[in-house]
Structures are given as structure tokens and as C-alpha cells.
Chain A
């Protein structure tokens, strides 16, 4: 019996019981749709995370204040008051390949405009900071070096702050109050939306570094030169690991830390964060794929079940075919093709459904669905293999029937 005849015979048998064939396929449809949708949504989410991280800049090294150790008690991060503007200057001066260093301070406070007030986070910055963290200014002008030198009473507002204090109207030229200090709004920051951790990145106000230190009570009482963190921007193609090591050595030396003492600052390379995030989303994709594989397995068992029923029901037919000259191999192949056809047609429907679900879910979640061609091929291939594997036992049973017994079967 030629392969084409085997396929024709198998399709005839499946057409004879359309509802049953459709229901049997449903298991594979759901399994494959789950694989496709999960992989697509997972890949879309991962792509989104990577994009966010790339937007932070992978050539940045973040340096922050460490914690103070008093006896056995470690106080919280940022309590050491160890980083200074002089550290920033030293890094620029002594570490090769550094493009810019942006020192900043950070303070949670209330800002007031007219009768509106809003609790937000204030950053005292230099112009380098805007560039290093990819902030744009959509209205007005950015903070200039001159503002920093003069301690100018000017402020940039994030989109969220503009919306809450000014109801979305143009705030440039208006005045907001920080404690008792009136600040003139010189510009509005371009929106960044939520970060990968779900925080609103637009709920910020930026003032010149010097202005923050001078006008926020209690901020600079121990050391007027201190800063909370430094963003070190490396030139293109810089060796990030080597730069980190050099910065660590320089800061330990400047802070006069003894050999073996802990760092009094922390340091992070954004590519490390990217790698961690990437790894965790990979783990998630893997988990989803495992769940999907289980559903394929269940679909395969459904096919085996229905094929066993079919073999029993068609015992007389098998007996007749054997009497008419079918070899055992012909019967085996016929039933294998039937089960493989069930699972492959089911898989194709599953691919279509899965793509639909992925697009819908991604639409709701607000990230693109990435249809991974490898996942599609894999799902169809695996389901074909599942069909053959789970069809093997019923098909062998059919092929081993004794023609005399089979013809007599009621």
C-alpha cells in the first residue's frame, strides 16, 4: 500500500467520525496553543524588560553610599555619608575611559503649587545626570552648569508631578515651593513610564545639586560635599569590569579603608541587572514551556485513548482488510497515520489559536507578542511525534489482530 493510499485511508476513517476526531484534536489544540501563546507572551515580556534595561544604558556604573558598621550592627544603605563630589571629580580625573560622572542627592518631600501639594522624590543633579540617564526635556530648558554653580532656584518637573499640581497645563514659568523655598519651573521632563519594577519614573522633580543641598534643611549638615550616588558613564567600548575594579580601588584608597575592611559604598553595573532580569524571565519561559509540555502529553494520552476505542470498534474492518491482502505493516501504518494526522491537524489549529491568544494577551499587557518560529516548528514537530508515539500501542494492537477472530468480532 503506497503512502498516499495510507494517508487517504486514514483521512477517510477520520472523516467518518468528525465530532470524535474534532474532540480528540481539541487536546492537542489546547496543548499547542498553550505552548505558542506562553512562549510568545514570555518572549514579548522578556524583550520588554531587555528594552527597559537597555534604556537605562549598559555603559553606566552606579555607585552609591554604603552602610556604616557600628560594632556588629550594620545600619541601612546610605548611612555612611561617604561619597562626595570630590570622589566624582577624582574618578573623572584618574580613571581612563570615563565619559562623565554625575553626582546626585535624593530626598523625599512635599512640593506645593498654589493650593495643590504632592509628595514626590527630589533629585539634586548636574546636567550630566540628564544625559547619563537619558532624560529629555519636552518643554522649557534643562538645568545648566550655570544653575548648578549659582545654586539657582529652578526646577524640572516630571510628567506625573505636572499632572497633579497643574492638571496638565503648561507649568513653565510657574512657581512651586519646596519647604519655604520658591522655585521657578524651567522645564518638563519627557515621560518614561513605569520601570521594570513597576515604579512610576515620572513622579520626580529635579533641581540643581547645590540648590538641593542649600535649601533642604538637614541634608548637608555633616558634610557639605556629600552626595548619595554617582552615575559613571563610560565611553563606548570601555571594559566595564576593569573600570569597576579601578573605581573600587580608587574609592577605597580615598576613603582610607584598611585592607580587608568592607567597602563603604556599593557599585552596580547595569549589564549585571540586565543579566539577572534576563535570567529570571528565561526561568519563567522555561516553566511555562514545562506546563505546556504537560498539556501536550495529556493531549497525546487522549489520542491514544480514542485510537484504542477506534481499533476495538473497527476490529471487523481490520479483519476484512487482512483477508483482502493487507499486511500487518499496512494496518500498523494506517493507524499510525490516523493518530499522527489527528495530532498534526490539532497542532496546526493550536498554532493559530495560540497566536491569537498571544496577540490578545500582549495587547492587554501592553507589550508586543513575539511569535517565535522555532517554537511553532517545535510544537508541530513534537505533536506529530506525540501522535506517532501514542498511536504506536493502539496501532500495534490493530496489526496483531488475528484475521479470523477479527472477522468474527461482533
Chain B
């Protein structure tokens, strides 16, 4: 197993305001394990993974299906709890927290972007962006203001009243990114965010993410595509529930071929 490489995010992290308070890396994972019961068998989706992610890093996660990368993302996103090992997010032990605390962590510290966008079809773009703030208990007037600002930031300020069906795929993903950012999270988790988009739109979305990262946001992104991974400063490659590679994109692309 390779030694964690901190080169990718270290420079940007110093520019990120929230870094001023916390000296600890944003994500510290030690010997993370997660086992599922499949019929009578027990399958180790994560068989001891240790990673540290500095504040302001841009990480790509790659690996074949069944390699454990989805489980890793679910644990990072506090949607799943590990049954072994340690996970500290922003200095807080979230590996053993109760469901309501995890809900609060997801709400305040993590933004999610999905391959299939996951917008609610009956809500306008702005109402979709407001959702995390609804669960964060933010008053309505402020929600409207912040949602409008977030849509403005992703270049959709004039489309706030459109419903998802009236928007293109790229626009829908921008709405989803605005929603992920509106509670000012420390960490953006993106699960194949460009998997449903054409190459031109993919470039636009990745440039948007790169700009956000340059602004100081920590991003962890799952992808199958080398061009997408190329935007990251560091690529984690998973195989059989373990971390099989941890290198800058150029090295990872070369390493992935022989497998």
C-alpha cells in the first residue's frame, strides 16, 4: 500500500477559511472495515482502509465495481456506519455516532452530488436548493435568499423557478451542486457526477467543481473516467475492499492499465 500523498490539496487548503480553526486534516480514516451479510456468507466490502484527506484537497476515487469504493463513499458521507476502524471528520469522531447526529453532520458538513441528480421533480430549482436548509432549521426568508445566491453562483440565477424537467442534464446537475453547497459544507461528495452527461457538459461541470475546489472546498469524487480523474490532485484506487493505489492522476492512469 502506498503512503498517502498530500501534495494535491495542500496548497489550496491553506486558502480555505475553515482551515484557520482546525489543525487536523478534514478526513482521517484508520483501518476502516465494513462487512455485509450476503445470505450465509459475510462479504468484506471494506477490509481495512486508512486514508487522510487534507482540507482543500480534490480527490478522485476509482476502482471496478465491487471494489469497495461505493461503501467507502457511503461511510465518508455518514450514510453508513463502519463496523471496525475509525473515521474522524473535521476532528469529530463520526464513526460511532447515533443516526440523528449523523443526520446533522450530513446536513451541516457534507454536500452530495449524484450521478442521477436526485432533484425532486415537483419542486422548482430554488425549492430543491432550499431543501437542506429546511432540515437545517433556517428561516424561510434567509433560505430563499441563500438559494437564489447559490443558483446565481452556478450560473442558473435566471432559472430559479424552473422545474427539473424543464432543465437540461447539465443544468440539473448545476442545481444539484447549488443544493450541495447551500449549507456551506466542508466536504463535497460526488458520486459519478458526470456519468449521465455528454463530454462537453462533463467539461463544464468539472470546471465548476475545479473552481469550487480552488475556492477552498474539499471534494471527493467517484469516477470511471480518466479525463474526469485528471481534474483531481490525487487518485485513490480501490480493489477488493482495500486501497490499491494512491497517486497523482498521471501516475494512477498508468497504474490502472496493468491492474
Contacts and interface: CB of A to CB of B under 8 A. Distances in A.
Interface stretch (A41-49, A92-100, A167-175, A322-330): A322-330
B120 interface: yes
Interface residues of A, number: 25
B259 interface: no
Contacts of B137: 1-2
Interface in B116-138: 118, 120, 122-123, 131-132, 134-137
B79 A403 contact: yes
B80 interface: yes
Contacts of B99: 327-328
B250 interface: no
B122 A322 contact: no
A1 B104 CA distance: 12
B103 interface: yes
B112 A323 contact: yes
Given A1-B134, A1-B137, A404-B80, A323 B106 contact: yes
Contacts of B136: 325
B122 A324 contact: no
B117 to A, nearest CB: 10
B207 to A, nearest CB: 25
Contacts of B95: none
8 contacts: A5-B134, A9-B134, A322-B79, A323-B106, A326-B103, A326-B135, A407-B79, A407-B114
B99 to A, nearest CB: 6
A317 interface: yes
A403 B108 CA distance: 17
Contacts of B77: 323
Given A1-B135, A1-B137, A327-B100, A404 B122 contact: no
B173 interface: no
A325 B123 contact: no
Nearest to B191: A407
B107 interface: yes
B74 interface: yes
Given A1-B134, A324-B112, A325-B136, A317 B103 contact: no
Contacts of A9: 134
Interface residues on B, range: 20 to 34
Nearest to B183: A325
A404 B70 CA distance: 10
A12 interface: yes
A330 to B, nearest CB: 6
A324 B74 contact: no
Contacts of A321: 131, 135
Contacts of A13: 122
Interface string A1-18: 110010001001101100
What 8 pairs between A and B have smallest CB-CB spacing?
A: A325-B107, A325-B135, A16-B122, A324-B132, A327-B103, A320-B118, A403-B79, A325-B106
Contact of B120 (A2, A317, A330, A403): A317
B40 to A, nearest CB: 21
B134 A323 contact: no
Interface string A297-337: 00000000000000000001101111111111110000000
A330 B79 contact: no
Contacts of A16: 122
A345 to B, nearest CB: 19
A407 B179 CA distance: 16
B123 A324 contact: no
A92 to B, nearest CB: 84
B79 A325 contact: no
Interface string B28-42: 000000000000000
For A15, A322, A325, the residue with the greatest tally of chain B CB atoms inside 10 Å of its CB is A325
Contact of A320 (B100, B104, B107, B120): B120
Contact of A325 (B80, B108, B114, B120): B108
B91 to A, nearest CB: 20
A407 B118 contact: yes
A242 to B, nearest CB: 73
Contacts of B74: 404
